């Protein structure tokens, strides 16, 4: 059973590493390989898993990144969605619709335009004063997520520690303390 499971995992890992990038009519989809859009060129959608998108050219539609960063130097005409990464929009760049970031940060340079809403959940927002966000701006700092999680973890640690201490006390009450080994004799003083 274990050998079969190990073989299946090994085969899955080999197929994952050998996966070729998917392309569909000017879409850029990558897994563990960065997407770079040179200046003067464009792509329709950019989707990236465990990698980053560096757009010096235009993105005609959406950008979706998991565990990576997005850098926009010119224009993204629709949504930018990032999970566990950073969105950086350079000075005078534009994002057509929404910017959504979970567990990461958003950096907006001078004169950056966001056409709709900006949502940063459990991360940081650093926007220049001249950044123009035409919709709602929602930014939840990371401590709102991490503080309750840390308190919950501490409660679990205390409960586990107390349960183990109670079990230890019950064991010692039932079986007594183990015998103390004899002390070695002290050598005579000369």
Contacts 24+ apart (CB under 8 A), 122-131: 122/146, 128/91
Q: How does the average pLDDT of the chain come out, rounded? A: 86
Mean pLDDT on 6-13: 64
The pLDDT score that the predictor gives to residue 81 is 93
pLDDT value of residue 10: 64
Does residue 133 share a domain with residue 78?
yes
CB 28 within 8 A of CB 35: yes
The neighbour count for residue 171, using CB atoms within 10 Å, is 10
Domain span holding position 165:
143-175
| Per-residue model confidence (pLDDT) at position 167 | 92
Paired with 137 in beta bridges are 118
Q: Which two tokens stand for residue 150?
A: 């840390």
Say if residue 56's pLDDT is above 80. yes
Residue 6 vs residue 151, higher pLDDT = 151
In a domain, 16, yes or no: yes
Average pLDDT score over residue span 132-137: 87
Q: What is the pLDDT of residue 83?
A: 93
In contact, 119 and 98? CB cutoff 8 Å = yes
Please check whether residue 63 lies inside any domain of the structure.
yes
Same domain, 90 and 158: no
Q: What is the pLDDT of residue 123?
A: 87
Report how many domains make up the chain: 2
Name the pLDDT band for 135 (thresholds 50, 70, 90). confident
Q: How far apart are CA 127 and CA 66, in angstroms?
A: 22
d(C-alpha 129, C-alpha 41), whole Å: 30
Q: Is the same domain home to 24 and 110?
A: yes
Same domain, 86 and 112: yes
Inside any domain, residue 180: no
Answer yes or no: is 48 within a domain: yes
Residue 181 falls within a domain, yes or no? Answer: no
Residues 19 and 47 in one domain: yes
Specify which of 13-22, 73-82, 150-159 reaches the highest per-range mean pLDDT: 150-159
Pair (149, 96) in one structural domain: no
Do 58 and 88 reside in the same domain of the chain? yes
Q: Where residue 20 falls among pLDDT bands split at 50, 70, 90?
A: low
Quick check: is 190 in a domain? no
The pLDDT tens digits of the residues spanning 140-174 come to: 887 887 888 899 999 999 999 999 999 988 888 88
- On whether both 166 and 85 belong to a single domain, the answer is no
My answer on whether 52 and 14 are in the same domain is yes
Q: Are 111 and 132 in contact (CB under 8 A)?
A: yes
Does residue 163 share a domain with residue 80?
no
Residues 112 and 41 in one domain: yes
């Amino acid at each position: 059973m274990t050998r079969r499971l190990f073989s299946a995992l090994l085969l899955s890992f080999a197929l994952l590493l050998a996966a070729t990038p998917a392309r569909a009519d000017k879409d850029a989809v990558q897994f563990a390989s960065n997407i770079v859009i040179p200046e003067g060129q464009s792509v329709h959608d950019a989707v990236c898993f465990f990698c980053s998108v560096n757009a010096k050219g235009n993105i005609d539609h959406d950008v979706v990144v998991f565990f990576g960063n997005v850098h926009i130097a010119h224009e993204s005409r629709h949504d930018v969605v990032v999970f566990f990464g950073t969105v950086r929009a350079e000075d005078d760049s534009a994002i057509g619709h929404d910017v959504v970031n979970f567990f990461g940060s958003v950096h907006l340079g001078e004169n950056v335009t966001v056409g709709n809403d900006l949502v940063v959940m459990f991360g940081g927002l650093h926007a220049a004063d001249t950044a123009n966000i035409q919709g709602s701006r929602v930014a939840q700092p990371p401590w709102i997520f991490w503080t309750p999680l840390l308190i919950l973890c501490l409660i679990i640690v205390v409960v586990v520690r107390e349960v183990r201490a109670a079990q230890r006390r019950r064991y010692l009450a039932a079986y007594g303390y183990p015998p103390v080994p004899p002390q070695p004799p002290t050598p005579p003083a000369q």
